[in-house]
Amino acid sequence: MSKNILISGGTGLVGQRLTEILLHKGYIVSYLTRNKNGLDSIEYKSAISLSEVIDATEEELRRKALGKRLAHDLTVTNIDRFLDNNNREVIQEEKHEIFLQKGHLITEFDIESMLESRVEKISIYRDNAYIKLYEWDIKKKTIEQEAIQNADYIIHLAGAGVADATWTDVRKKEILDSRTLSTQLLVDTLLTQPNKVQAFISASAIGYYGLDTGNAWQYEGMESSAKDFLAQVVKAWESAIFKAKDVRTVAIRIGVVLSAKGGALAKIAQPIQLYTGAALGSGLQYVSWIHIDDLCEIFVKAIEDKEMSGIYNGVAPDGEMSAIVLGGNRVSSEKIEKAGYVFKFRQLEQAIKDLL
């Protein structure tokens, strides 16, 4: 039986990618939203890129693409080569272009054309899914009752963007409240309403360790003496997270998330693309980063691995980027690796190549 994952912050950068991965794995996904606008659910079309098509067998291509729909327009070019009967040299070539419109249902003919033209990449829609919407109001401390009752797992990603606006006093309060009050509402609801929730999994942040911790590795069990604003936010946030009782609780301290759809990637990639790497500041700082797919898979592991409990750093093993951007934390991934997670993207260059 499919498990129901209730996500807060599902429309954010991490939430969108996590939704795609969960749907692909067969989970049922529902969202907490501040305003449903009269909708009970939203249609969710998730796309997958078949970048390996150039090397795929016909059987593999049929299994992955036949009957699915194109996520983007695609022009397939077939080349017919005519050979001289005597020396077998090419004496004539004819090109035949086939334009396939976005949403086109992939047929047997299309697959044959793709194989003949050696298309290097094709994006298709997976089967459409519907995301159930439940309304919550953090200020009024209300959540639709069915949201918690129907959930097998809760993933809490909601929170005002730290880098989205200037840190005025009002904005600082919004950053803090959006995390602590939303978390407290979820925890209180778990404690007071009948439910079948098997785990409460929340985002946190490596800001816990402080703005600049120098060369020393930072581990989950360390006490932080940092008093800067972000450290105070994370400490208050985690205090609220771990008030959940009688349910397995996991907090993922997230580093700098690299994604092709936004975030820090553009700033990080530019000097690499230009074959430059002049250090900013002293060049001795560290930034702990993570590919968005690895981060989302860690959340999935937190769902599926019943042994996972407590705090885990959501950062890649290779944390040094001092020649690219300013930073201040050298955070260890040792605990999540010991829990059995195998990173797809351990090095920065590997992650950037994949995303670009």
Distance of CA 6 to the CA centre of its chain: 16
Dig out the tokens for 146 from the structure: 């069915």
The model's pLDDT over 10-24, given as tens digits with 9 standing for 90+, comes to 999 999 999 989 988
The conformation of residue 222, written as its DSSP 8-state character, comes to P
- pLDDT beyond 60 at 206: yes
User: What distance in Å separates the CA atoms of residue 42 and residue 10, rounded to the nearest whole number?
Assistant: 12
Which of the residue ranges 32-41, 190-199, 264-273, 344-353 would you say has the lowest mean pLDDT? 264-273
| Whole-number pLDDT of residue 325 | 43
* pLDDT bucket at 85, cuts 50 / 70 / 90: confident
H, E, C per residue of 111-128? HHHHHHHCCCCCEEECCC
| Whole-number pLDDT of residue 275 | 46
* pLDDT bucket at 2, cuts 50 / 70 / 90: confident
| Whole-number pLDDT of residue 62 | 83
| Whole-number pLDDT of residue 319 | 77
Contacts 24+ apart (CB under 8 A), 99-103: 99/73, 99/74, 99/75, 100/70, 100/73, 100/74, 100/75, 100/76, 101/70, 101/73, 102/70, 102/71, 102/72, 102/73, 103/69, 103/70
| Whole-number pLDDT of residue 232 | 97
Find the helix or strand (DSSP H, E) in which 90 lies. strand 90-100
Give helix 169-192 / helix 229-241 axis angle, nearest 10°: 10
- Helix, strand, coil % (nearest 5) of the chain? 30, 25, 40
* pLDDT bucket at 122, cuts 50 / 70 / 90: confident
Q: CB count, 10 Å around CB of 43?
A: 9
User: How many Cα atoms occupy the beta-carbon half-sphere of 262 within 13 Å?
Assistant: 9
The model's pLDDT over 306-350, given as tens digits with 9 standing for 90+, comes to 999 999 999 999 875 544 444 468 899 999 999 999 999 999 888
Instruction: Name the average pLDDT for the chain.
Output: 87
| Whole-number pLDDT of residue 344 | 95
User: What distance in Å separates the CA atoms of residue 157 and residue 178, rounded to the nearest whole number?
Assistant: 10
* pLDDT bucket at 281, cuts 50 / 70 / 90: very low
Place of tokens 């599926």: 304
The model's pLDDT over 130-149, given as tens digits with 9 standing for 90+, comes to 999 999 999 999 999 999 99
4-46+129-254+292-313: CATH number: 3.40.50.720
Give me the mean pLDDT over the 63-91 stretch.
Answer: 82
Count helices and strands (H / E) in the chain: 10, 19
User: How many Cα atoms occupy the beta-carbon half-sphere of 276 within 13 Å?
Assistant: 8
Give me the mean pLDDT over the 75-87 stretch.
Answer: 80
The pair phi, psi for residue 6, each rounded to 5°, is -95, 120
Which residue in 42, 2, 10 sits closest to 128, CA to CA?
42
* pLDDT bucket at 25, cuts 50 / 70 / 90: confident
Distance of CA 339 to the CA centre of its chain: 20
Q: What is the percent of the chain with per-residue pLDDT over 70, rounded to a whole number?
A: 90
* pLDDT bucket at 249, cuts 50 / 70 / 90: very high
Q: Is the dihedral of CA 146, 150, 152, 153 positive or negative?
A: negative
Where exactly are the structural domains of the chain? 4-46+129-254+292-313, 48-125
